[in-house]
């Protein structure tokens, strides 16, 4: 019984060591860039804007977006800016200062949909509630 406990202990130690190392880690070109590893992992989880408009991203779900700031408009309680990537553009609402127009940024935000009914037709729009500016 004692030997069995020792073997299981070594097994868990070995699994713990291998689980924390790079053994079995697939290499991605993103990890070759000169950027911190956590940022490289975030980039691999970036959602294309077209997926949000296609409603493939669940509403009120956190997403990571990367794009260039196109426009910025002041609101009463914050700002709204338009973020554009290679697949499309989307409006982002923020309570902090908006990034500079032309700047490329990485953000974390929640997806939302605002229905706009005109003559019985929904002309609504998806938008992002910014949670964090990462870059």
| CATH number of the CATH domain containing 129 | 2.40.50.140
Output the pLDDT for position 114: 87
Output the pLDDT for position 10: 40
Asked, for residue 85, whether it belongs to a domain, the answer is yes
Output the pLDDT for position 45: 84
Q: Which residues contact 22 (CB under 8 A, 6 or more apart)?
A: none
Output the pLDDT for position 36: 56
Q: What is the domain count for the chain?
A: 1
Output the pLDDT for position 41: 56
Burial class (CB in 10 A: 0-12, 13-18, 19+), 1: exposed
The upper half-sphere exposure of residue 2, i.e. CA atoms within 13 Å in the direction of its Cβ, equals: 0
Its pTM stands at 0.65
Output the pLDDT for position 26: 40
The residue ranges of the chain whose pLDDT is under 50 are 1-33
* Domain residue limits at 99: 46-133
Asked, for residue 36, whether it belongs to a domain, the answer is no
């Amino acid at each position: 019984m004692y030997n069995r406990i020792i073997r299981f202990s070594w097994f868990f130690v070995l699994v713990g060591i291998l689980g924390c190392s790079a053994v079995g880690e697939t290499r991605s070109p993103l990890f070759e860039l000169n950027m911190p590893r956590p940022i490289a992992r975030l980039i691999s989880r970036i959602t294309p804007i077209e997926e949000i408009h296609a409603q493939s991203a669940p509403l009120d779900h956190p997403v990571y977006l990367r794009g260039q700031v196109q426009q910025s408009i002041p609101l009463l309680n914050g700002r709204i800016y338009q973020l554009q990537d290679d697949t499309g553009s989307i409006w982002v609402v923020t309570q902090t200062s908006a990034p500079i127009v032309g700047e490329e940024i990485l953000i974390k935000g929640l997806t939302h949909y605002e229905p706009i009914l005109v003559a019985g037709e929904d002309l609504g729009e998806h938008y992002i509630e910014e949670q964090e500016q990462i870059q």
